[in-house]
Amino acid sequence: MTLRERTLVASTRPDGKIFVLHKGDKLRAWIFPDYKILLDAICKSCGDRFPGFHPVLNMVFIVLEGKQLRRFFRIARTYEVN
């Protein structure tokens, strides 16, 4: 899995909700009510391994390992935009 496939991009929308985007084999998106819920989902998916957080302007790039990313997809399913 390449670095691009393991990266999530998070940004705050004007209404205060958090928009998360993943561009892998298909485009996936989630809308979280606030950062606390997003961070809880990331912490649950990562376990004892800390992910890479890289803030750039008004976005945060979150780099996960392959197994962590699959867990994140499963945990964050309720917030996924179809």
DSSP class of 4: G
Residue 82's pLDDT is 78
pTM score, whole prediction: 0.88
Percent of the residues in the chain that have a pLDDT greater than 70, as a whole number: 100
Residue 63's pLDDT is 93
Mean pLDDT score, 53-82:
92
Domain boundaries, the chain: 4-81
Whether 80 has a pLDDT exceeding 80, the answer reads yes
Side by side, which strands form the sheet with 52-56?
52-56, 59-63, 7-12, 18-23, 27-32, 80-81
